[in-house]
Amino acid sequence: MKVTIWVDMEGVAGICVWPQVMGGAERYEEGRRLLTGEVNAAVRGAKAAGATEIVVLDCHGAGGAYTFNSFLPDRLERGAEYVSGHAWLRYTEPLEDCDAALMVGFHAMAGTPDGVLSHTISTEALYNAYINDTLVGEAGLCAAVCGIRDVPCLLVTGDTATCREARELLGEGIVEAPVKVGLGRYAARHMAHADACDLIEAKAKEALSDLSRVKPYKPDEPAAVRFELATAEDAKRYTAHPAVQREGDRVVISRAGTFKEAWDQIWNR
């Protein structure tokens, strides 16, 4: 069994303020330790479920030299490979012949009242993201990218808002590991780190015990990816590809025959 594990940082237990997730900030090293612990727990769960190939992708843009580079390499669990430094949700090769995806440390979409550090793609520049007419957060985008290769996302870990968001989009079959409850964007009631790791390990193993519990997320095609940005300047950044159109000053839309093409276009590939 081949498994990919997609990892963000804002959904990790113990984390609820930006300086824990921003490269070089005062509490970043603490955040990295907590993150790495939860990543290792998911890897142990995947190994216990019988995974023979595990690829873990760092999907957290911490900034500077730490962009997609937040794992502590000398503390990582044996038996997996770890991808760092690659552009967000753009390294899809590990999905080839992959049986399942797990989402660890994810956060809720922009505007979610009980979503800890909630945002979509950008903490300030982006208000809403849609696939076709469906409002999606990063879990939905990740699931759609995995769906390009027919890979289902079987597990989500993060706060309760993120688990709810993933369940509403991907169905009741998804296994959830809610490690904290958001009390606002910058406050939470957390599990202890060790308890969160135990939960994630157990739930990763459970999720992988039935690969058909969630269907791959495949948006209707032809497909459109639409971003509502905060400013006209923010919108302009996404219009480098000729097929990406403006809808007014602050909205961009990428339409194509397939979701993959629409996704590639908006990143100008």
Contact between 90 and 142 under an 8 Å Cβ cutoff? The reply is: no
232 is written with which tokens?
């006209």
Question: In the complex, which residues of this chain contact Zn ion (CB under 5 A)?
Answer: 8-10, 60
Tell the smallest beta-carbon distance from residue 131 to Zn ion (Å). Answer: 19
Tell the smallest beta-carbon distance from residue 15 to Zn ion (Å). Answer: 10
Tell the smallest beta-carbon distance from residue 1 to Zn ion (Å). Answer: 27
In the complex with Zn ion, which residue's Cβ is closer, 8 or 114? 8
Q: Which residue is nearest to Zn ion (CB)?
A: 60
In the complex with Zn ion, which residue's Cβ is closer, 67 or 245? 67
Q: H or E element: which one contains 73?
A: none
In the complex with Zn ion, which residue's Cβ is closer, 100 or 139? 139
Q: H or E element: which one contains 159?
A: strand 153-159
The DSSP call for residue 11 is T
Q: Which of 107, 39, 105, 42 is nearest to 72 (CA)?
A: 39
In the complex with Zn ion, which residue's Cβ is closer, 60 or 205? 60
Q: What is the DSSP pairing of strand 153-159 with strand 100-106? A: parallel
One-letter amino acid for residue 30 of the chain: E
147 vs 265: CA distance, rounded Å: 17
Q: H or E element: which one contains 249?
A: none
In the complex with Zn ion, which residue's Cβ is closer, 107 or 203? 107
Tell the smallest beta-carbon distance from residue 82 to Zn ion (Å). Answer: 16
Q: Which of 247, 202, 244 is nearest to 228 (CA)?
A: 247
Burial of 135 (0-12, 13-18, 19+ CB in 10 A): middle
In the complex with Zn ion, which residue's Cβ is closer, 186 or 222? 186
Tell the smallest beta-carbon distance from residue 118 to Zn ion (Å). Answer: 11
Q: What is the DSSP pairing of strand 134-136 with strand 126-131? A: antiparallel
Tell the smallest beta-carbon distance from residue 60 to Zn ion (Å). Answer: 4
In the complex with Zn ion, which residue's Cβ is closer, 9 or 16? 9
Tell the smallest beta-carbon distance from residue 185 to Zn ion (Å). Answer: 14
Q: Which of 238, 1, 250, 248 is nearest to 101 (CA)?
A: 1
